[in-house]
Structure formats: C-alpha cells, structure tokens
Structure 1
Amino acid sequence: MSVSNIQQLGKVAVLFGGTSAEREISILSGTGVLEALRSRGVDAHAFDPAERDLVELKREGFARCFIALHGRHGEDGTVQGALELLGIPYTGSGVMASSVAMDKVMTKRLWLADGLPTPKYVRLAADQQSREQIRAVPDVLGLPLIVKPPREGSSIGVTKVAGYSEMQDAVALSAKYDADVLCEEFIEGEEVTCAVLGHGLDAVALPVVRIAAPAGAYDYQNKYFTDDVKYHCPSGLPEVEEKEIQRLTLAAYRTLGCRGWGRSDVMIRASDRKPFLLELNTSPGMTTHSLVPMSARAIGIAYEDLCVRVLASAALDSEGKV
C-alpha cells in the first residue's frame, strides 16, 4: 500500500493477550503484528482486553482493530460483538461466523449439512459423561480416537486415546476446559493446513502447508516452542490433492460465512487419500512458527505486507459485509 493509503487506515489497536487459555500465544502473535504494522508506517498501538476496558477504544479514537486474540473472548464472537456496538471495524470474521467456527461441534454440523467431509464424532454434553457413556464412545468411533474440548484451540486439552482404559482420563482433561467434550474419529494420515484471504466469491486459498510432526505429536509444545516439527510449503502433494484441499477449504470458509482471513486444518487419510476437515481458525496465529505467514511467503507476500493486507480488510457486520 502507498503511504497515503496507510495513513487512511487511521489509528489502529492491535488486540492481543486476553483471558483465554491461549493468552501466551496471543501475546506472541500480537507483538509480531504490532511490530510489522509499525514497520510499514501504520499508527498501531498495543491493547490487551484483559487489562483495559474495550470502551477505551472508542474514547481514544481508534479507527480499526487488528484482532490477534486467540480462543475464548477473542475468537468466539464476543469481542466482535462489542466492536460492532462500538462501531469500530475489525479484522477477521463477524459475530456469527466467529462464534460458530469457535465451536467445533457446530462447525461440523454445518459442514455435514453442506456435504463437506469431516471426521465422525460423538458429543458428550455435561450430563452425558457417566462411566458407561464414556466407555461406549470407542464402540461408535473405533480406536484410536481423539478427545478434545470443542471450544478451545492450540491443541489444548487434546488426547489421542489408544484404548478403552484411557477414555476416563481423556474426558476429564477435556472437561477442565469445556463442559462439553468432543470425541472424534482419528484419521490416520498426513496433516495439512490451508489459509484463505478475502471475502465471499473473492476469497482465495493460499498454498497448502504440509505438517510433519515428530511421531505425529503436533501438540501445543511442538506447535509453538520447538523446531522439531517440519513444515513443507510448497506442500509436495500431487497437484490434484493440493487443489482439492484448497477447494474444500474455500467451501468450508464460505459455509461458515467467514471473511477477512482464516485457516483450515485438514487430515488426508493415508488409506485412500481422502481429505477431512478438522476445524477452521478465524483468528490464525501470527507467531514465528505460524502457518498463514509461511503460506503467504510462498507466493511472495511478506509478513509485514500480510499484516497490512489483513488490516485493510477490517469491516463491520453492520456494513453488510457478512
């Protein structure tokens, strides 16, 4: 963007930190975004909703917000709703799409209604977690299977269960983060991710990133704090598979009504190379280990320019851009 266009973005608040279990990662993302925007001449300022009231955004004359919050009270539609009431445009999806995408069970229901592939699942509500009900889950989904909180991210509270005897502890761990527990069919194969920029029919999928984690352990620690995970972009997948994952990701993004940017996580089943959608992140990570910047870089978009591009897409649902 030209200097004059940069100035038109106005005073910008980079929202990061927050109160979710992903606060630590949000601080890493937000710090990177803040420095990137400032390096491009944007009048950007740090703003932590855990420490300051959002009303101060209006009082201090912020023209738009870059949401670098992850998880609850940041990625789930709550902050988006507050910014709608304040009339301050923000990056990423609107209230409904953010809320639905944050809930993996609701996301699956919408995807399945549109015929999009996602692993089989069992939802254990708070009143459906008796020993007998928990023990019955592997009979439905088979083993191994995945147990996770449906409204957390960054692999927090996730367990890969290999046997019946592990189910109780896995459910107990997940229930620490969410009253509901999502049990999901385990897809044996390769994990990939695909980013999207834009809105509606103008949205475009970026190159696919293939993830190779040590012993398949793509967990919180390996995602953010080690260099043991290998990321491949270009993915090295056959072109037909790459294009199918991009097509599926765009369909998944549009089904949920997302805008601005997002990133899908996908498993490719080894037995038949069929892709399965796991989730869609509406406020993707922007740390040094994050995957959207890596994908953008593969087509010549620098981290700093990616941040400016996302910021420029800031909007309000009330503007009719849902």
Structure 2
Amino acid sequence: MKKKKVGIIFGGKSAEHEVSLQSAKNIVDAIDKDKYEVTLIGIAKDGKWHLNDQSSYLLNAENPRLISLNKSNDNVAIVPGSASNQLIHVENATSLEQLDVIFPIVHGTLGEDGSLQGMLRMANLPFVGPSVLGSSICMDKDIAKRLLHAAGINVAKGIVVKRSNKDKLSYKEISEKLGVPMFVKPANQGSSVGVSKVKTEEEFRVAIEEAFQYDHKVVIEENIVGREIECAVLGNDDPIASIPGEVLPNTDFYSYESKYIDEKGAELAIPAELSEEQVKKVQQVAIEAFKTLECEGLARVDFFLTNENKLYVNEVNTLPGFTKISMYPKLWEISGIPYTELISKLIDLAVERHQNDSNLKSTVWD
C-alpha cells in the first residue's frame, strides 16, 4: 500500500508556540509509520516556515519549559491556486514533493483562528480540523458564546470590552452585575493565555491590562462554580462524542502551566464520575455545540457542571492540545480509539471533507 504523505505544520507566532511543539512531537511519535510518510514544517516565532528533519526538529524536546524549534536553513513557502506542488523551497523555487494532507497543529493566533485554514484551502490542500468559519468562530469567545446562547445552550454571563473603551470600565458596575470573583480573558486566545481570576479592583485593573496584551477585545465573565467537565468530539457531518472526563485543578483555576508544563498542576479523572444520564447530556450538548459552531473533524468541548446539575459550555477548542498530558487524545483512548488510530481517523476525515468540497461547482457555466 502506498503511504500517504502527511505534512505536519507546527509552531507559529502565537503565545501557544511551545504547546504546539509538544503536540507535534507526540503526533510524530504516534503516527502510523506503515501508513504515512511525514514531512515536518515548523513555523518560527518570526513567521518563517522551515522544512525540518525528524531527527533534529526540536531543541530540549523533553523539557516543556525550554522546548524550542530547531530552525533549518531550508525555508519553504506556500503557493495558492496550484493543483499540485503547492509548497516550494524559498532559496531555489523548486517544489517539494506533493503532500496528500496537512495536519496543522498550530495552536492559537494565526493557526487556530481560520488564518492558516484559509491559506490551506487556497492552496487546495486537505487539512485536519475545522475549516475557516468553524475555526474563526470558536477562537472568538464573544462570537462563539453569542451563537451558543442563540441555540439555547447555556453559557456564562459576560461583558465584552474593546480596547477603545477599556479606560471607561467601572469595576463597581461590572462586579455588581457579574459578581466576585470573575474572569478576565482575551477574546481570541486559548490555553488560558492571558486569563485572570480576579477578586478585587486592583486585580481587575491588572488583569485588564494583561488581557489587552494578547487581543484587542476582552471578555469579562461571571465565575461559574462547578465541576470542569470535558468531552471530545470527532467527525464531519455525523460527529460522535467521547466519554467525558473531569479536570481536577490543584491550583486556583486550570491555567496554562497546569495544562502543559506542570504535570502535577491538575489531575484528569477519565472517565468523569457521572451518572449515565449526565454522560448522555454532556455528549448531546457537546455535539450540539460542535454543530452550532460549524466545526468539522475534531473539537474539545469544555463544560461547567453545577451542583444544581446545570451544564454550561465554557469553550469549544478546535485544535486541542495533543501533548502527553492532553485531555483530547486521553478521552478517545478511554472511549476505545487509541492515539495512533485517532490520528488516522482525523486524516481520513480531512480527506473526506476535501473530496466533498472538490465536488462543489466553482462556476455557473458548464
């Protein structure tokens, strides 16, 4: 059987660059080498694309605090509109060998927000994960929650602030409306980057400044007291949901460090200790949220489950972490799909969607 050529694009200019490197490493280690031939394309923090060798693409690969991209001398560029040979070597403009599918494991800004997905669509390359619309919607916590609320799905109460209005914020008015503590978040970030839990006006002011370092729009949300439940979704038109898991943070909330660096920062209870009825409810709402936000391929839906048995969607993550301590692959493993098989299914879903897209007419004239 001829091996499919899979391009793994990782790194990126976002604050989640190092998380992406960890995810890429785990995918490279686990991918079925009998079915796939891997090409590694690392995006440096300056935005340049590097063609990397599997034997040396990472520095300090085993240390999440120090991990970094080992930049190569072979920069590559993408050529939109080509039917084949969409990637070229920058130095001599020769083509890379044609890739069959892309696994874009670039978390955060310019990787998870629809930007990279749009470029891959223009280059006519199949890719894993949601397309442009689903990616951009889910990245924006403000827009995503408006759509979820309109669909009848519970979300936390919140206030949206643009940079031009940040100096007009009244802590007294906001705290009276949302209660204390509350969360301050960049609207377009993931992995808890720039997120603060605040209890005082002083903490609130610091948190606002911190959040605006990462985005031009900030979401201030009420604190939902409840268990942190997560559910993985897989599929295109007919998605399925995993057995839910639970995050048990050992810190004040599930921070960036707890997720990706400190293995003792949180415990993952997989499966979550839920009744059969609660499991079905979580799975049902996860699939509803997935479809409402135009997701395809994969997503992880994060919930709060209150003591009153009320379920709130906190976030829908379209390119969840694939590190060794990440919830998404762990949830599918306990649900009966091992990591290597999961990667293969995601690649198959990417190819399936691309074929469906290719059948659409692009002209009104026959």
Query: How would you bin the TM-score normalised by the shorter chain?
Result: over 0.9
Deviation at 1:240, TM superposition (A): 1.2
* Structure 2 alignment gaps of length 5 or more: 50-76, 80-85, 89-94, 361-366
Q: Does 2:164 correspond to 1:170?
A: no
Deviation at 1:233, TM superposition (A): 1.1
Deviation at 1:135, TM superposition (A): 4.5
Q: Does structure 1 conserve the Cα–Cα contact (< 8 Å) formed by 2:162 and 2:217?
A: yes
TM-score, normalised to structure 2, is 0.82
Q: Which amino acid aligns with 1:265?
A: D
- 1:220 aligns with one of 256, 260, 263: 256
Deviation at 1:41, TM superposition (A): 3.5
Task: Identify the structure with the greater helix proportion.
Answer: 1
- Indicate how the Cα distance of structure 1 residues 91 and 143 shifts in structure 2: closer, same or farther if over 3 A, else same: same
Q: Does structure 1 conserve the Cα–Cα contact (< 8 Å) formed by 2:32 and 2:344?
A: no
Tell me the equivalent position of 2:60.
none
Deviation at 1:138, TM superposition (A): 1.2
- 1:299 aligns with one of 306, 312, 335: 335
Deviation at 1:86, TM superposition (A): 0.5
Tell me the equivalent position of 2:220.
183
- 2:357 aligns with one of 295, 313, 318: 318
Bigger Cα displacement from structure 2, 58-67 vs 296-305:
58-67
Q: Which amino acid aligns with 2:293?
A: L
Q: Which amino acid aligns with 1:238?
A: S
Q: 2: distance between equivalents of 1:174 and 1:299?
A: 36
Q: 2: distance between equivalents of 1:40 and 1:248?
A: 37
TM-score, normalised to structure 1, is 0.92
- 2:48 aligns with one of 48, 51, 63: 51
Counting only pairs closer than 5 Å after superposition, residues 19-168 of structure 1 correspond to structure 2 as 19-49=13-43, 50-52=47-49, 53-55=77-79, 57=87, 59-60=95-96, 61-168=98-205
Deviation at 1:140, TM superposition (A): 1.5
Q: 2: distance between equivalents of 1:319 and 1:37?
A: 26
Q: 1: distance between equivalents of 2:247 and 2:223?
A: 16
- Indicate how the Cα distance of structure 1 residues 205 and 38 shifts in structure 2: closer, same or farther if over 3 A, else same: closer
Q: 1: distance between equivalents of 2:271 and 2:41?
A: 35
Q: 2: distance between equivalents of 1:135 and 1:319?
A: 54
Counting only pairs closer than 5 Å after superposition, residues 248-259 of structure 1 correspond to structure 2 as 248-259=285-296
Bigger Cα displacement from structure 2, 22-31 vs 226-235:
226-235
Q: 2: distance between equivalents of 1:232 and 1:319?
A: 41
- Indicate how the Cα distance of structure 1 residues 199 and 212 shifts in structure 2: closer, same or farther if over 3 A, else same: same
Q: Secondary structure at the match of 2:11?
A: coil
Q: Which amino acid aligns with 2:333?
A: R
Q: 2: distance between equivalents of 1:231 and 1:108?
A: 26
Deviation at 1:320, TM superposition (A): 6.7
Q: Which amino acid aligns with 1:308?
A: S
Q: 1: distance between equivalents of 2:281 and 2:208?
A: 34
Deviation at 1:237, TM superposition (A): 1.1
- 2:279 aligns with one of 242, 247, 262: 242
Deviation at 1:199, TM superposition (A): 1.4
Q: Which amino acid aligns with 1:57?
A: L
Deviation at 1:131, TM superposition (A): 4.8
Moved segments of 4+, more than 4 Å: none
**CA shift digits 1:238-285 (9 cap, x unpaired):** 121111111111000000111111101111123x12110011111111
The structure with more radius of gyration: 2
Q: Does structure 2 conserve the Cα–Cα contact (< 8 Å) formed by 1:192 and 1:209?
A: yes
Q: 1: distance between equivalents of 2:164 and 2:245?
A: 39
**CA shift digits 1:6-32 (9 cap, x unpaired):** x36x21100111111100000100111
Q: Secondary structure at the match of 1:48?
A: strand
Q: CA RMSD in A?
A: 1.7
Tell me the equivalent position of 1:203.
239
Q: 2: distance between equivalents of 1:185 and 1:120?
A: 6
**CA shift digits 1:79-108 (9 cap, x unpaired):** 111111110000000111111111010001
Q: Does structure 2 conserve the Cα–Cα contact (< 8 Å) formed by 1:72 and 1:152?
A: yes
Q: 2: distance between equivalents of 1:132 and 1:20?
A: 28
Aligned-pair identity (%) = 31
Q: Secondary structure at the match of 2:215?
A: coil
Task: Identify the structure with the greater strand proportion.
Answer: 2
Q: Which amino acid aligns with 1:243?
A: K
Q: Which amino acid aligns with 1:241?
A: Q
Figure out how many residues of one structure are paired with residues of the other and give that number: 313
Q: Does structure 2 conserve the Cα–Cα contact (< 8 Å) formed by 1:19 and 1:72?
A: yes
**CA shift digits 1:189-213 (9 cap, x unpaired):** 110110000012x100001011101
